[in-house]
Structure 1
């Protein structure tokens, strides 16, 4: 049984109370939300017991006082930037986010396109939003932002960008990813609020790093691993220590930009800033929800290994450069971790080596090892009919249902018929059935086959499983595993020498 190290109810109670205490001092509080509002898988993995939807549930408690602005950088839309966790582009993620926020009863005020300069794909996205009744504002880039404070806080800076009309005391500013312009949007709003005679302020809600756990705690190092491509480095907040003689952890970008942000806020408000440090500017209380530090440390170490494999695969695909991979290796060494410290890695590699020894093929045999929530490990390999993800899932549910390996859940005749449809009628060059196709076949078989029904009923029990593949999976299989709640890592090897059909 998975150990718990975090109390989500205590956290939500503490967090909502702290935010309300801060907003009580102002007419309006602009709250920059870092990370994910919904489905924070990273926090769930490193803080066992954390509710991945804790932030959105927190906002639900405050929904009568809250509205939401979503920011996106125009350049990210132009280059079709992808969210790795969902496998969708940023513009599609904004549509998804608006739908989900609306379902939670939260008011989405508008979408702000930052650093907009008439980019054609962005204009099409604006048209799509506006024709669905969603308000859109565009903000142009400000030259010399954020260093030229005099220009920024003037009619030639923030004054040129429109004010987003808001009505509630808490305005959450969120985005699909880093670099989307959340901070600039908040400061732009402060400028216009001040010009209209209202007292508004800014705070940041960033879950990681956790300011009140040690700098080298695995929980904070896992954050460095998660943002290794951004070159984020955790540091002691020197401003906080100088002001309070208290140790607090923050990260380099916030510490480096704090003096200029402080000057901008002071220039806008014409009075000394309330905050004495970047930690002061934050409202994060997640550290107070930790109930078992050792459980959190162990989970964080596993997340570091998971991030290592993700970075290695990104390097193989050409997404990140060698410097990022080198930094990730240093993080692994810092915590004295090995790849094999992740349980399913060795069984997957051992089985793959065994298969390779039995044939002359140059390609790495595709094998997935699945560590089930009860600690059992099963494996699956690619066959003529099924890919490795499909066989691993079938073997996993059979193990959980105590079904013998000798019993077939799906008739080969049915699978061959589906494969014929796929290759001959739909002209797919990937003959082996993927996880989505096999799960549909299993669900249909469950209607008439009692054994298949027993196995099908175990799909929910796969949630929390850990998996490792000896080759990089295609996006469809990867998303299926994530949807089932399975954390997957891959060796940085292609499943095929083909350049397209991988």
Structure 2
């Protein structure tokens, strides 16, 4: 896809405005919304966006930055899963710690929010502390967020331990939403002012984009991405009343703004510098858009992808019917159909054709890839491998100019892997998945120049669009994600089995 976004201009604009905020205070607590590393959503809706732009921006400021990671104790206790990586929030905290260190960014500590002696949380705290990672525990404040007199007192924020920080910019991030980032920032503000230091609070925002129209596809794609949180974009009435300027924000920020403004004013003892929730954010995304048509089309495709994700999550019991119906309304609002995703119908048509020749109880799953040149490549499940593996092999053969009739993988290696699964590991599933097929390909590439030629084309799958006629297992989902392939699925299980799928 052609680029419609200038990442360098965005980083320049964003860093300039952050530094302007820092200059007004002894210390700035900067709440980061969205993903700090690997922001795939932003990359998809803003072609040209660097998914690691935010972390690279912080790396440029690393001498002035330290990081606090917040995680809600309740999310640890119920093993909340981060969907894109398929890992729990406590594991995501560990992943973030490793990633921040790899960028040479200083991690101050981990804050456990709304802590109440939860058993699983205590185990996690022990794990962190025994690896010499500082942990702070913030308890739930009675009356939060309505009882401001209690919140801004020794019984409220004062009961939270002060997190000792040394850098002028303190980034507050989390594994996901509703992790307590805002409360942690305001708690720190309370302690800073009590110690006679002038501190400030701001938000690093990406979506929704305040100076794009309310119904711009980029902003609607944000609603689709947060369908489970029930976020709704709205006109920031506080901003309009103050500046007579239309700005877009979302319902949670608008609902909380009067409370946050009053808390800041009570802490500082003076009128807040922020007159609207839009004022609080630093969001220069719109200034990086170079081609609105490209960005709009990419956003529409993201809405369709989110639609498929939602109907599959509903099938799995992960979202409620209200979220599903809201997603359907969004599709109608933008006048989109499932078939507007170009790889959907080829996958379905091929599956229907195969069904005509299959045995009555045989289930065949098909995956279709839409390549960068528009070519559709398909793969079907078989007794040897699943459809994801077949599609990957067919796609790299196409990219390498290898005939479809030529085998890339040694039958001996494939049968050895299947024997290992079936006879040694006692697996009930002998069909090879994408991970196993890629391992087999890498082995064959050592002695087979044709396999080597195809192996070298794997990186060219980055950005390919894919659709599957049944829901994928976690293993294949993660392999496709690592290859950079954006995949959607129809909301059907690949078999009647409940566990062995």
**TM-score, length-normalised on structure 2?**
0.99
Shift of the alpha carbon at 1:286? 1.1
Q: Write the distance in 1 (CA, Å) between the matches of 2:361 and 2:70.
A: 47
Q: Write the distance in 2 (CA, Å) between the matches of 1:347 and 1:417.
A: 33
Q: Write the distance in 2 (CA, Å) between the matches of 1:336 and 1:420.
A: 50
Equivalences for residues 234-273 of structure 1 within 5 A = 234-273=233-272
* Structure 1 residues 363 and 81: CA distance shift in structure 2, 3 A: farther
Shift of the alpha carbon at 1:424? 1.6
Q: Write the distance in 2 (CA, Å) between the matches of 1:132 and 1:13.
A: 36
Quote the residue 1:40 is aligned against: 39
Quote the residue 2:169 is aligned against: 170
Quote the residue 2:183 is aligned against: 184
The answer to whether the 8 Å contact 2:239/2:277 transfers is yes
Q: Write the distance in 1 (CA, Å) between the matches of 2:349 and 2:411.
A: 27
Equivalences for residues 89-238 of structure 1 within 5 A = 89-238=88-237
Quote the residue 2:415 is aligned against: 416
Q: Write the distance in 1 (CA, Å) between the matches of 2:499 and 2:385.
A: 20
Shift of the alpha carbon at 1:360? 4.1
Shift of the alpha carbon at 1:376? 1.2
Quote the residue 1:443 is aligned against: 442
Q: The residue matched to 1:164 in structure 2 has which SS?
A: coil
Q: Write the distance in 2 (CA, Å) between the matches of 1:194 and 1:499.
A: 56
Q: Write the distance in 2 (CA, Å) between the matches of 1:268 and 1:234.
A: 29
Q: The residue matched to 2:313 in structure 1 has which SS?
A: helix
Quote the residue 2:376 is aligned against: 377
Equivalences for residues 13-92 of structure 1 within 5 A = 13-92=12-91
Runs of 4 or more consecutive aligned structure 1 residues displaced over 2 Å after TM superposition: 359-365, 411-414
Q: Write the distance in 2 (CA, Å) between the matches of 1:364 and 1:346.
A: 18
The CA RMSD measured in Å over matched residues stands at 0.8
Q: Write the distance in 2 (CA, Å) between the matches of 1:357 and 1:479.
A: 31
Q: Write the distance in 2 (CA, Å) between the matches of 1:200 and 1:64.
A: 18
Q: The residue matched to 2:355 in structure 1 has which SS?
A: helix
Q: Write the distance in 1 (CA, Å) between the matches of 2:419 and 2:353.
A: 30
Shift of the alpha carbon at 1:481? 0.3
Q: Write the distance in 2 (CA, Å) between the matches of 1:424 and 1:347.
A: 37
Equivalences for residues 323-402 of structure 1 within 5 A = 323-361=322-360, 365-402=364-401
Q: Write the distance in 1 (CA, Å) between the matches of 2:92 and 2:441.
A: 30
Q: Deviations over 1:132-186 (max 9, x none)?
A: 1110000000112111101100111111111110011110000000010000000
Quote the residue 1:322 is aligned against: 321
Q: The residue matched to 1:296 in structure 2 has which SS?
A: helix
**TM-score, length-normalised on structure 1?**
0.99
Q: Write the distance in 2 (CA, Å) between the matches of 1:254 and 1:332.
A: 24
Q: Deviations over 1:32-68 (max 9, x none)?
A: 0011110000000000000000000110111111100
Note if 1:485 corresponds to 2:481: no
Unaligned runs of 5+ in 2: none
Q: The residue matched to 2:282 in structure 1 has which SS?
A: coil
Q: Write the distance in 2 (CA, Å) between the matches of 1:127 and 1:228.
A: 34
Shift of the alpha carbon at 1:417? 2.0
Shift of the alpha carbon at 1:404? 0.4
The answer to whether the 8 Å contact 1:31/1:172 transfers is yes
Q: The residue matched to 1:229 in structure 2 has which SS?
A: helix
Q: Deviations over 1:443-465 (max 9, x none)?
A: 01001001000000000001010
Unaligned runs of 5+ in 1: none
Q: Write the distance in 1 (CA, Å) between the matches of 2:97 and 2:418.
A: 38
The answer to whether the 8 Å contact 1:4/1:48 transfers is yes
Shift of the alpha carbon at 1:225? 0.1
The answer to whether the 8 Å contact 1:11/1:286 transfers is yes
- How many equivalent residue pairs? 501
Q: Deviations over 1:266-323 (max 9, x none)?
A: 0111100001100000011111100000000000000000000000010000001111
Shift of the alpha carbon at 1:411? 2.2
Bigger mean CA deviation after superposition, 405-414 or 375-384: 405-414
* Structure 1 residues 362 and 336: CA distance shift in structure 2, 3 A: farther
Q: Write the distance in 1 (CA, Å) between the matches of 2:265 and 2:451.
A: 66
The answer to whether the 8 Å contact 1:203/1:282 transfers is yes
Q: Write the distance in 1 (CA, Å) between the matches of 2:292 and 2:362.
A: 43
